[in-house]
Amino acid sequence: MPGQPSHDGTETELAIDAQDVHVTYADGTTAVRGATLRVERGEFFGFLGPNGAGKTTTIKTLVTLLHPTDGSVRINGYDTVTEPQAVRESIGYMAQETSIDRELSPRENLQLTCELYGVPESEREDRIAELLDLVDLEAVADTRSETFSGGMKKRLDAATVLVHRPPVVFLDEPTTGLDPEARLRLWEYFERINERGTTVFLTTQYLEEADQLCDRLSLLQDGQVIATGGPEQLKSEVGVDVIDLRLADATDEAKQHATQVLQRLDAVGDATVATTTGGVTVRSPAVREAASEVFAALDDAGIAVESFDVRSPTLDDVFLALTEGSTEESPATGVASLGTEVVQ
């Protein structure tokens, strides 16, 4: 029985059950306006949105750091407002800011979190060794962490979240500001803990990250969940195909010209045309069939195409399609960024 409290001894399927959560700060700012999230045990769930969409406020509400102004949150069957202690005992939370004690070594930081969570003394040594191995910090286990790189600190932070083997972990933009290699290592680590049965709730502004890691995800904009589903499902629901065109002349004027030409083209139907760093991108349900018309139109207008790519949509395209016409900034794209800029 999903969503039911577990006090009667029945199993709760839902690791996270947030019903119509609203959060308004004391200064009157409403950061979350009606977020409903249902995450099953063992899922790798993504929470995706641009800066300022309310991701951090939502995650802080889920981990008992904030109380919802309206609505309710149950984590592992426990209410975050009336049973915060039980929630705290059954979760791990990695904040957006790296939270480690820089004056302590990795081993001491892990020791401290073992003590905070009452991990039995007989198990501490093994768990600490296992976690140091998992995040690849054995070599510096007894060095004070203040000199570490951002990536090493993040990995240590991630390890401290797991000392008590929580059934659910919350990760708030864990890879922001990391170089691609450090990011890949953290991804691997999160996948490993998810494979061990841990429910993972991850917020990110990197679409590629969500695409790669998540079983399901919710898109958040302006404090509201605008779509929820598996990455493939979301992509197919948008129902568009995409042509990326690289122009021989990639000046702003040339790109603007190409944009105008393509927007007037009937064959592509209801298309979204966006400029990219090297040319333009056309998103439309009909674009695959109309590819030859696109090239003909550009040729007629005297615009030379250097290369092109007809592809299926990415989450980036999903996000743009869902937020089309809004003035909100689009989320940053992943490692292979297109640098897309919405025109229409």
Characterize the bridge pairing of strands 305-311 and 279-284. Answer: unpaired
Contact in structure between 109 and 100 (CB atoms under 8 Å): yes
For other proteins, the binding residues in 138-157 under the rule CB under 8 A are 144
Answer yes or no whether residue 124 interacts with other proteins by CB under 8 A: no
The window from 4-12, 246-254, 302-310, 318-326 that contacts other proteins (CB under 8 A) reads 4-12
For other proteins, the binding residues in 50-109 under the rule CB under 8 A are 63-67, 69, 76-77, 81, 84-86, 88-91, 93, 95, 97-104, 108
User: Rounded to the nearest 5 degrees, what angle is found at the Cα of 306, between the Cα atoms of 302 and 308?
Assistant: 110
Q: Which of 1, 2, 116, 196 binds other proteins (CB under 8 A)?
A: 116
CA-wise closest residue to 201 among 124, 78, 91, 50: 91
For other proteins, the binding residues in 290-309 under the rule CB under 8 A are none
Answer yes or no whether residue 9 interacts with other proteins by CB under 8 A: yes
**C-beta of 166: minimal distance to other proteins in Å?**
7
Amino acid at position 227, single letter: A
**C-beta of 228: minimal distance to other proteins in Å?**
23
Which stretches of 69-120 are DSSP H helices? 84-89, 106-116
CA-wise closest residue to 46 among 185, 227, 176, 184: 227
The rounded distance, in Å, linking the Cα atoms of 277 and 117 is 49
Answer yes or no whether residue 325 interacts with other proteins by CB under 8 A: no
Residues that bind other proteins (CB under 8 A): 6-7, 9-12, 23-26, 63-67, 69, 76-77, 81, 84-86, 88-91, 93, 95, 97-104, 108, 112-113, 115-120, 144, 160, 164-167
